[in-house]
Amino acid sequence: MEAFAAEVFAPLSRSDQRVKGVTYLRGLLLDGRRKSMQPMAERLGVDHQGLQQFVTTSTWDTAAVRARLAARAVELIEPVAWAIDDTGFPKDGTGSPGVARQYSGTLGKVANCQIGVSVHAVTDTASCPLDWRLFLPESWDVTKAGPAAVKAAKAQQRKRLTNAPRAAAPAAPTAVEVDVEAVTEAARRRRSKSAVPQGEGHRPKWMLAIEMIDGLAGHGLRPPLVAADSGYGDSGPFRAALDERDIAYNVQVKGETLAHPADATPAPRAPSGRGRPPSRTRPDYPYDALSVAQHIQNAGRAVTVTVSWREGSKGTLTSQFVFLRVRPAGHRITPDPDGSLPERWLIAEWPDDQPEPVTYWLSSQPADTTPADLIRTAKIRWRIEHDYRELKTGLGLDHFEGRSWTGWHRHVTLVTAAHLFITMLRHDPKADAPA
């Protein structure tokens, strides 16, 4: 561990910082239910204020440490894909950066929490985080907090009117009153207390993922393929951003996602009813796009293929799938100049014992990719759930109790270092197990 820490903490300019880095890493790896600073300090026999100062106020470059960790992780596990996802950090108060009542897939409900977005290098047998971003809701953005509060108030008003008793006379909508200045000032105070950098504001989670991919590319790291759930795959701009970077993907989507059949072709736009030329000159598809669920239903169960993709704890994992070629559509997808949309794989899992498909994916992998390879990459993101479970239950990912932007990012970086160290031990059969 000393040799590992010396390498990853080499960017820290001061020797006392490197010593505290090793100490914090050791605290994360030791047994103990809580991995917040005070319990760790007690187990280590050190002053917890020293650890707190190292994580929250000391000057060291988190990005440089993460870059070293990412390079080491990619070299170690040789990933077949990078998986993108996000996880919730439940909180009791309102002072932690990014905390708000928001939906967390981890919790399966709307709750008071932070959301961290992460990208992981994955194979069927190993995985490790490469980078992290803390998601900021609109209520933490001084330019968007006011409009977001007005929008939320109007939504609440519509909900009240919709749920009003039928016997009651319909009430006329009243003007929604929101003190936008007060909401904006509250956001400014929260940001100041948590030391959120001025340039950080609300951005969609998919955009944070693309920023991480671009940042890692700056260190010479590039994904062989990106896998993600429908929270990212449903975003046309996210898929387009991967296309622009020539990065293959296999992402989950909802059944309502629109697409044209692969053999559909755009046609010149017809003149208006009065004989005037159309205002838009680019060719367009003459028929409406169908949902991917409808495409699969039209193909029918008769075209399902049985595919096995890996060994699970109870044997070989096998299911039935439909594979079609389609052209994803939607108002946020920009066609080529000739009006055509790119051709993609549409994959649906349709088990024999289910009346309809249970999961859908879109993949930009080549047209000659085998069903086994398509399903392996579609299913590969299961490893990220393994990571989150180990990062939280074993290494204290969500145990950080500080309320600073810098502290959160440093804590998750140090937890990532601990996770990579454990992964290294698993890959070395001669290494001793950690104490």
Q: Model confidence over 247-285: pLDDT tens digits?
A: 999 999 999 999 999 999 888 866 655 666 655 656 788
- Can you tell me the distance from the alpha carbon of 142 to that of 221, in angstroms, rounded to the nearest whole number? 34
- Phi, psi (deg, nearest 5) at residue 20: -65, -35
Q: Are strands 81-90 and 226-228 parallel, antiparallel or unpaired?
A: parallel
Is 0.85 topped by the overall pTM? yes
Average pLDDT, integer, range 6-20: 92
Q: Which position has the token pair 């108002």?
A: 331
Q: Give the model's pLDDT for residue 435.
A: 42
Residue 14: CB partners within 8 Å, gap ≥ 6? none
Q: Give the model's pLDDT for residue 140.
A: 96
**Residue among 249, 183, 188, 178 nearest 213 (CA):** 249
Q: Give the model's pLDDT for residue 107.
A: 84
Q: Band of the pLDDT at 433, cuts 50, 70, 90? A: very low
Average pLDDT, integer, range 359-386: 95
CA 174 to chain centre: 39
Q: Give the model's pLDDT for residue 15.
A: 92
- The answer to whether residues 140 and 98 touch, using CB atoms and an 8 Å cutoff, is yes
Q: Which of 11-20, 73-82, 97-106, 161-170 has the highest mean pLDDT?
A: 73-82
Q: Give the model's pLDDT for residue 386.
A: 87
Distance spanning both ends of the chain, measured CA to CA = 11
Q: Band of the pLDDT at 362, cuts 50, 70, 90? A: very high
Question: Residue 167 pLDDT more than 60?
Answer: no
Q: Band of the pLDDT at 170, cuts 50, 70, 90? A: low
Question: Residue 172 pLDDT more than 80?
Answer: no
* Angular region, 82: left φ>0, alpha ψ -120 to 50, beta rest: beta
Find the range with the poorest average confidence among 175-184, 214-223, 233-242, 256-265: 175-184
Q: Give the model's pLDDT for residue 185.
A: 95
Q: Which residue has the higher pLDDT, 188 or 281?
A: 188
Question: Residue 430 pLDDT more than 70?
Answer: no
Q: Model confidence over 280-307: pLDDT tens digits?
A: 656 788 889 999 999 999 999 999 999 9
**Residue among 258, 372, 249, 247 nearest 326 (CA):** 258
Q: Which position has the token pair 């991967």?
A: 242
Question: Residue 28 pLDDT more than 80?
Answer: yes
Q: Give the model's pLDDT for residue 357.
A: 97
Q: Model confidence over 412-427: pLDDT tens digits?
A: 999 999 999 999 998 8
Average pLDDT, integer, range 138-142: 96
User: Residue ranges of the domains in the chain?
Assistant: 2-136+203-209+384-427, 137-166+175-202, 230-267+285-380
